[in-house]
Amino acid sequence: MKLLIPKQLAVLSLLLLVITLPVSAQELQNLTLENAIDLAIQGDDWLIVSEQEENALLEQATASGELPDPRMMVGLSNMPLDTLNFNQEPMTQFRLGINQAFPRGDSLELQRRRDVQQSEINPFQRDDRKAAVSLEVSRLWLDGYLAEQSISLINNDRVLFEQLVDITNARYTSAAGLARQQDLVRAEVELVRLDDRLAMLRQLQDRSKQRLAEWIPYESVSLPLSTEQPELPPPSTELSSLTQAADFFANHPKIRAQDKKIEIAQTQVEITEQSFKPSYSVGASYSYRDNAPGGIERADFISLDLSFDLPLFTENRQKPRLRASQYRASARQTERILLIKDLFANYQQAMAQLVVLDERRALFNDSLLSQLSDLTEATLSSYTADEGDFEEVMRAYIAELNAKIELLQIEVERLKIISQLDYLLTRSGL
């Protein structure tokens, strides 16, 4: 294979850069909902902390399953105080010993298991965190989208209001005096109200972007939001009873994490049960004796010992601790039931809201908007023909604009509800 010389490599790199630049620039033109969620999850430091905590617990589990360090003993026994002579008395000894303690029953293995179980909570918490971040970022992005699209709708219809002002002004200044002065003032006042409404929407737009900046980089927040409405299909899962919900939500990250907490509580009960078993230690020591003053050799000694405690008085110590751990295990079970009920209640509420929003959405699209548009045209035609009242024309214009914005609000609220349902129906990948 022919090798490229440095000059050729430079040209090739430049060509690749030119090819990829338009795509990158296009990607940075606006911020879509999907991109916002991806950026938020990728930049979430909480996920990094969770992984570090998991690794710490795994390391701790390794240490928890090991025996305590043996204890060394160095001593001098029976030294005569009158002469401090080591070989004066036959009982004077230099002692060297070692002692190993053994905890109660299977407490070491159970403590190791508890730490491992504690670490296993973190992956489920990360799954729940990702789903929760997706929900929060979706709400913030949709708030900004609602503000931007409302501004766009008002700016588009503002032209119609300006035309109405021109028509009213022409009729007022005509020799026939077809319009009254208050009609012209009312038209100009409505334009000012539109400008005030735009200012309020821009404030809402800035606020939503500032809150969104807590989750994604500021350079991405500063981009305009995508003008295309996100396509979020409603969930196909239908849960009609608490029993059905309990089976489905069993794989929700929150419930999976709670299941691990139940396992930890049960392991803690087993650890507490070990307190009814004795702990013991085994030791050995070597005692050196010097020769007697006459040169007679003295035998050295070796000692072996076994010591253990006797948990005989358990009524006010071990038994209350065991009952306390059992109560905590029962509490974790009850918390699981409450979590499932809470998830199911939120699911039912969100589904009910989605049904109402779908009905209102169909009503606006099928009839209301077209009827208001026809009403606006009819009242304007009557007014220009000097057969209608300016007040009716203005009310029709405002009603049509409000209906467009209200439909947009329905669409955005519907997407928020679907995002909430997506979170509630999240299933852990583990």
In a domain, 336, yes or no: yes
In a domain, 98, yes or no: no
Least confident of 62-76, 79-93, 383-397: 383-397
In a domain, 13, yes or no: no
In a domain, 2, yes or no: no
Q: What is the pLDDT of residues 324-362, one digit of tens each?
A: 999 999 999 999 999 999 999 999 999 999 999 999 999
Angle of helix 390-424 versus helix 369-384 axis, rounded to 10: 170
- What is the domain range of residue 248? 29-71+105-278+315-424
pTM metric for this prediction: 0.82
CATH number for the domain that contains residue 195: 1.20.1600.10
Mean pLDDT along residues 62-83: 90
Mean pLDDT along residues 92-107: 92
Q: What is the pLDDT of residues 118-132, one digit of tens each?
A: 999 999 999 999 999
Residue 112 and residue 64 in contact, taking contact as beta carbons nearer than 8 Å: yes
Residue 429 pLDDT grade (very low, low, confident, very high; cuts 50, 70, 90): low
Alpha carbons 61 and 118: distance in angstroms, whole number? 9
In a domain, 65, yes or no: yes
Please work out, in degrees rounded to the nearest 5, the angle formed at the alpha carbon of residue 221 by the alpha carbons of 217 and 225: 140
- What's the number of domains the chain is made of? 1
Exposed, middle or buried by CB within 10 Å (0-12, 13-18, 19+), for 126? Answer: buried
In a domain, 262, yes or no: yes
In a domain, 295, yes or no: no
Q: Which two tokens stand for residue 5?
A: 């010389």
In a domain, 21, yes or no: no
Alpha carbons 118 and 120: distance in angstroms, whole number? 5
Integer-rounded Cα radius of gyration of the chain: 40
Mean pLDDT along residues 74-80: 89
